[in-house]
Structure 1
Amino acid sequence: MTISFTYKKPQVIQALRYHFLAKREIRLMIILVNVFAFLSAALFYFKKVTPMAFLTGSLLWFILMLTFWFFLPGAVYRRASTFRDHFTMKFGEQDFSVGNERGSRSWSWQALQSFLETPNFFHLYFDSRSFFLVPKDGFSNSDEVWEMRQLLKQKVGPILSPSRREGL
């Protein structure tokens, strides 16, 4: 199977959000900040803390959400020239390859540690920090998306939901 694609910025930004928010340490930090914000709101309501403590908790929550929802994905998108290229990918029984006008590279399926499927992409993870986004828009129809999903399940393993990506 061969696909050709270019990336669309809004879809890539959303995929990067999935990537960051799927990491266990980031999820834990968001949970802790939310608990802190709710606790500071409750303590403020019962007049156990000053308004400044409540404001600090709220500001911390707001900054954290802005960082992981807008700033971090935007910064990664701007830094990576990869998202501005046109790619061709070939998927075979033994390996897969990625190419653009500057060259191509091939990997065996064993090079992939895991994969994650999101609404617009397949995230192919080489390790916890190295991954490649394969847009579903590059496939000609939903049957090819289904074939790709089956191929990834066969060659890499089951689809990892964000909560099951413990090793990443």
Structure 2
Amino acid sequence: MKIAITYERAKVLQALRYHFISRSEVKILLILVNVFALISAGLFAFKLIRPFPFLISSLLWFVLMLTFWFWLPRIIYSRTRTFKEDIDLSLRSEDILIETEKGYTTWGYQRFSYFMESPYFFHLYINDKSFFLIPKDACTGDADTVLVRQKLKEKMAFK
């Protein structure tokens, strides 16, 4: 099966957000910051603390949201050439063939640890921080999307 990939900026940014928010350490950090913010808001409401801890927790929450929702996805998108290239991807029986105008490479399925699915992409993870995105829009219709999903489930772990 051959797929012609062209990345759309808005969808890639959403996929990068999905990647960051799905990380366990980020989830724990967000939960801790939210608990701290709620506790400080409650203590501030009952006049048990001064405004400074409440403002610090609010600022910390705001900076975290800006970082994971806006800054990191945009930085990664702007620094990664792959998102600006046209790619032909072939899911073959033993490996994945990736072709660009600069050349080609093959990646064996065993190179990938697992794959994950988000609303617009299949995320093929090499390790916890490195991944390759296959847009669902590149598949021609729902039937091809189902075939890609089945092929990936056959060849690698699903998370």
The TM-score, its normalising length taken from structure 1, stands at 0.93
- Corresponding residue for 2:115? 115
Tell me the alpha carbon deviations over residues 33-64 of structure 1, each in whole angstroms, 9 at most, x when there is no partner.
00000010000011111011111111110111
Structure 2: unaligned runs, 5 residues or longer: none
- Corresponding residue for 2:65? 65
Cα distance, 1:65 vs structure 2? 0.5
- Corresponding residue for 1:141? 141
Aligned pairs for 1:10-89 (under 5 A) are: 10-89=10-89
Structure 1: unaligned runs, 5 residues or longer: 161-168
- Corresponding residue for 1:130? 130
Structure 1 consecutive aligned stretches of length 4 or more whose deviation exceeds 3 Å: none
Letter in 2 for 1:63: V
Identical counterparts, % of pairs: 45
SS in 1 for 2:5: strand
- Corresponding residue for 1:101? 101
- Corresponding residue for 1:166? none
Cα distance, 1:152 vs structure 2? 0.8
SS in 2 for 1:119: coil
Alpha carbon RMSD of aligned pairs, Å? 0.7
What is the distance in 2 between the residues matched to 1:62 and 1:130? 27
Cα distance, 1:128 vs structure 2? 1.1
What is the distance in 2 between the residues matched to 1:65 and 1:103? 38
What is the distance in 1 between the residues matched to 2:133 and 2:108? 17
Letter in 2 for 1:100: T
Letter in 2 for 1:35: V
Letter in 1 for 2:116: L
What is the distance in 2 between the residues matched to 1:76 and 1:122? 18
Cα distance, 1:5 vs structure 2? 1.6
The TM-score, its normalising length taken from structure 2, stands at 0.98
Letter in 1 for 2:139: F
Q: How many pairs were matched up?
A: 159
What is the distance in 2 between the residues matched to 1:80 and 1:86? 13
Cα distance, 1:78 vs structure 2? 0.8
